[in-house]
Amino acid sequence: MASKPVYVLNGPNLNLLGAREPDVYGRETLADIEADVKAQAKTLGLTVEFRQSNNEGTLVDWVQEADAKGSGLIINPGAYTHTSIALLDALKAASIPKIELHLSNIHAREEYRRKSLTAEAVNGVIMGFGAKGYRLALDAIKTLV
């Protein structure tokens, strides 16, 4: 197992998965996704620190913590993808490998969701695969750490 965990951070409203717009985000809950990610991480020889917050500042703090204590970072910034310069700056400052993740394809959504401010600060972006995107992101981060 990797000595440092991979941080999997989830932004605003992701705690509502399974109930919020299931036609867009799927029926899996965040707890379902966490269990799946932790099981897959174990098979990959990784450990995971899985978290969710609706607060921008908390996510910034966690990105900084991941840089100090983690081996890699997977982040689903939620709506902060499109609005948070603070999160962008934290991601730019972090030197660990980083993957941005979205359940839906943001380019096929409303105009205001099509721009990711945070994408320029990560190694890659995975989107449009629903909850399975977390598995793809974990596989990708394994190659980078």
How confident is the model over 53-95, as pLDDT tens digits?
Answer: 999 999 999 999 999 999 999 999 999 999 899 999 999 999 9
CB atoms inside a 10 Å sphere around CB 21: 12
Domain housing 73: 1-6+56-121
**Which residue among 7, 80, 102, 134 is the active-site one?**
102
Q: Is residue 97 part of a domain?
A: yes
Encoding tokens for residue 91?
Answer: 């991601």
Q: Is residue 81 part of a domain?
A: yes
Q: Is residue 106 part of a domain?
A: yes
DSSP reduced 3-state for 121: helix
**Which residue among 25, 80, 107, 112 is the active-site one?**
25
pTM for this entry: 0.92
Q: Is residue 30 part of a domain?
A: no
7 among known catalytic residues? no
Query: Using CA atoms, how far apart are residues 62 and 75, in angstroms rounded to an integer?
Result: 10
Q: Is residue 12 part of a domain?
A: no
Q: Is residue 141 part of a domain?
A: no
25 among known catalytic residues? yes
Number of domains in the chain: 1
Q: Is residue 95 part of a domain?
A: yes
Digit-coded pLDDT (tens) for 89-106: 999 999 999 999 999 888
